[in-house]
Amino acid sequence: MSTAVIIPPLYERLRLQLAGVTRYQAYDISTIIDDYSDNIVQHYQPLMGKSVKEICSDANIPYALSFQEFGLNIHFKKASELTLHNQAMELEGILKELLDIYGVIRFKNAYLNTSIREMYHRNNFQHLNFHRDRGDAHENKYSFYTRDPFDEIQQYPRTASTLFIDNAVAYLQAYVEGKLTLDEQGRRGHYNIFDYDRKEKELFNNIILEQPWDEPQGVGEICMINNNSVLHSSYKHTFDPGYRIGARYLY
């Protein structure tokens, strides 16, 4: 997977914004999918009878096509301890702001401070069932996933990925697959889509962001989204469903 290293002026601004959570530890930062909204339009427009943007607007799909870049990747040069939320389960404010811009944030070679490390449950999502963990009425709308390097079960790379998509992708794909009701409005809570006998992998890191959980043994990984604007699913690469990943829901 290729990522685009962020140009220096933007990097410096992000570095300053993130200083409170990264504690000035050394890291590389990059976007994951550039030109994301354009990718979505280019992929679906040939399959549609009218403008993709009009379809999403007419169907009242929230946050549709709102990410120019999708995914912010922060990879620490040395294993780093972070405190990304407090014991009241409130996510750091700057991360909320960056999720509004990038949709997905992931930290690699990082783990949580002992004061909050155990504040999670384990979960394993269904294959290609894109869904939200929290409804629009929930205040704790941020999903926060962890591979804990101190957890014996999560020491090794995981056999299953987590996939993330913009709300528009879910609606448009269901539209193409004929899975919508007539004049359907709004975003569903889940969509069973993209089951193309593994050909869907060609769309990874184009209109589907893959979080593979594939760092070496004992390397921590953290990933987060806002459930209002992004849907997620598991992707089972083999018959092994993968261990249950750490999950928590933050305000």
Write out pLDDT tens, residues 88-111. 999 999 999 999 999 999 999 999
What is residue 1's predicted lDDT score, i.e. its pLDDT? 45
Whether the predicted pLDDT of 216 surpasses 60: yes
Q: What is the pLDDT of residues 10-48, one digit of tens each?
A: 788 899 999 999 988 999 999 999 999 999 999 999 999
Q: pLDDT tens digits, residue range 109-166?
A: 999 999 999 999 999 999 999 999 999 899 999 999 999 999 999 999 999 999 999 9
Question: In the prediction, which pLDDT does 153 show?
Answer: 95
For the chain, how big is the Rg over CA atoms in Å?
A: 18
Signed CA dihedral, 4, 96, 41, 162: sign only: positive
Please give the model's pTM, rounded to 2 decimal places. Answer: 0.95
β-sheet with 160-166: strand ranges across: 190-192, 129-131, 230-236, 160-166, 209-211
pLDDT of residue 12: 86
Residue 106 has a pLDDT of 98
Q: How far apart are CA 231 and CA 251, in angstroms?
A: 17
Span of 25-29, 51-55, 195-199, 212-216 with lowest mean pLDDT? 195-199
